[in-house]
Chain A
Amino acid sequence: DQQVKQNSPSLSVQEGRISILNCDYTNSMFDYFLWYKKYPAEGPTFLISISSIKDKNEDGRFTVFLNKSAKHLSLHIVPSQPGDSAVYFCAASDQSSGSARQLTFGSGTQLTVLP
């Protein structure tokens, strides 16, 4: 049972345009969400996060939106740059895991930004 789903395995966007990556979750105990970016042969790099008490968090070109009622979050990248081409993982932290805060990941979306 996949608790975090990224239904789009890949996304192609033109340089300078907006990239929108989507993520859905089923576990209502998730209260903290993160986006990681991963290049080949490297570990995931933290990008941006959002607590369930907020519905938006912005950091430079990256904005994450959280819709708790729909159990949906999205990552917006504006403007997209060729260096943004990577696999993006959505992850969620479960308050029921206590202080451990294990992360549950989606299967990732390969973003390709075309020059």
Chain B
Amino acid sequence: DAGVTQSPTHLIKTRGQQVTLRCSPKSGHDTVSWYQQALGQGPQFIFQYYEEEERQRGNFPDRFSGHQFPNYSSELNVNALLLGDSALYLCASSRASARNEQFFGPGTRLTVL
């Protein structure tokens, strides 16, 4: 049973560029949440997708947007990249009936130069 997968593993971009990160949830899961983990910090909630809609959003600007596809996979898009966007981006999946139990992928390490 495949767990949560994310791609790419690493990414290097320059300021002002745009980036797209991808996530495939664990089998049987229908909800995807995205988190940003800066160096030395705990993960911070960005937003959550369910039934192809953004259901909840954390304290992140509109430069951060997402999408969920009919197969429950999800994308995170970040526009107009800033140096401060450099972080580990984590995807977590869960079932709508048990959203307390979130399973995380390995993350995408984004470096903005």
Residues of A within 8 A of B (CB): 4, 6, 32, 34, 36, 41-46, 49, 89, 91, 93, 97-108
Within 8 A of A (CB), among B20-59: 33, 35, 40-45, 48, 55-56, 58
Residues of A within 8 A of B55 (CB): 99-100
14 contacts between A and B (CB under 8 A): A43-B6, A43-B107, A44-B90, A44-B104, A46-B104, A99-B96, A99-B99, A100-B48, A101-B100, A102-B45, A102-B48, A103-B35, A103-B45, A105-B44
How many A-B contacts at CB < 8 Å in the complex?
Answer: 66
Distance from B36 Cβ to chain A, minimum over Cβ atoms (Å): 11
Complex CA gap A78/B5 in Å reads 32
* B interface, CB within 8 angstroms of A: 4, 6, 33, 35, 40-45, 48, 55-56, 58, 90, 92, 94, 96, 99-107
B33-A4 in contact (CB<8A): no
Give every chain B residue within 8 A of A93 (Cβ-Cβ): 99-100
Contact of B102 among A99, A103, A104, A107 (CB under 8 A): A103
Cβ-closest chain A residue relative to B98: A101
Pick the most buried of A32, A42, A100: most chain B CB atoms within 10 A of its CB: A100
| Shortest CB distance B73–A (Å) | 16
Give min CB distance, A93 to chain B, whole Å.
5
B100 touching A41, Cβ below 8 Å: no
How far is B92's CA from A104's CA once the two chains are assembled, in angstroms? 13
